[in-house]
């Protein structure tokens, strides 16, 4: 029994070699293309991340700068140092405080603390049912006006008034001898030492138990401190 070697035509070998080379080169080109596209995608993602980060930081900075301008302007406003009396509705600074709350959606409240322990504050509960519940406010409440004042005998009183969007009175309650004293708050103490507008470090607000920051400035001529409270949650959402 004899064995004969099987021979293939020359062109079959050449064809096979060419096909093999083409397959290898195609695979190599595809790998290089994939690698380059992946690297390019990574570079693009990095660039976009940097741009978004810079834009976000820029928005935060502009928002904080505008709040600083608000606090500085309010602290210089004539009449802002007027002590609140009765319901506080006649206080000269109310229009500016209401306007700031309507314009700055990140602002939770605007207020003035005085060196005799008096206090006037407007809280924007807006459409937050949890805030209305916190203050015991009726449905339809958009603003809560809080006033701490002294009567003729020097006793401190606290009055809460619940106002609608048009600042109309829809309810209220009174407290005698409130525990809250603005003069003991960190923002008030620091404002007496600072010459310019400042921001506090984040802390938990006494009323809402939510983290936030305060921007404050001592009133021009002394006598009190103007402050703006911003919850970190609202600040982030408003950007």
Helix (H) or strand (E) holding 23: helix 10-76
Q: Which residue has the tokens 């070697």?
A: 5
pTM, rounded to two decimals = 0.75
Task: Kindly state the helix (H) or strand (E) to which residue 103 belongs, with its residue range.
Answer: helix 94-103
- pLDDT value, residue 142: 94
Per-residue model confidence (pLDDT) at position 184: 93
How far is it, in rounded angstroms, from Cα 72 to Cα 198? 10
Low-confidence ranges of the chain (pLDDT < 70): 1-60, 177, 234-239
Rg of the chain taking only CA atoms, in angstroms: 33
> Percent of the chain scored above 90 by pLDDT?
45
Q: What is the pLDDT of residue 208?
A: 77
Beta strand residue intervals within the chain, DSSP E? 107-114, 119-124, 143-150, 156-163, 169-176, 198-199, 203-204, 211-218, 224-231
- Residue 52 has what pLDDT? 46
């Amino acid at each position: 029994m004899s064995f004969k070697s099987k021979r293939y035509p020359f062109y079959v070998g050449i064809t096979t070699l060419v096909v093999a080379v083409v397959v290898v080169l195609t695979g190599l080109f595809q790998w290089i293309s994939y690698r380059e596209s992946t690297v390019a995608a990574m570079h693009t993602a990095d660039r976009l991340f940097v741009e978004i980060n810079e834009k976000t930081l820029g928005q935060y900075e502009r928002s904080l700068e505008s709040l600083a301008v608000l606090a500085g302007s309010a602290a210089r406003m004539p009449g802002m140092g007027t002590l609140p009396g009765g319901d506080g509705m006649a206080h000269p600074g109310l229009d500016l405080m209401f306007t700031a709350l309507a314009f700055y959606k990140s602002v939770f409240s605007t207020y003035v603390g005085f060196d005799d322990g008096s206090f006037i504050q407007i809280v924007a509960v807006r459409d937050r049912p949890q805030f209305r519940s916190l203050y015991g406010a009726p449905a339809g409440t958009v603003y809560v006006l809080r006033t701490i004042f002294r009567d003729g005998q020097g006793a401190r009183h606290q009055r809460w008034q619940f106002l609608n969007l048009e600042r109309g009175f829809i309810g209220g309650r009174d407290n005698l001898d409130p525990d809250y004293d603005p003069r003991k708050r960190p923002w008030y103490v620091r404002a007496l030492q600072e010459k310019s507008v400042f921001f506090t470090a984040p802390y938990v607000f006494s009323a809402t138990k939510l983290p936030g920051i305060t921007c404050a400035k001592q009133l021009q001529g002394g006598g009190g401190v103007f402050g703006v409270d911003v919850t970190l949650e609202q600040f982030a959402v408003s950007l």
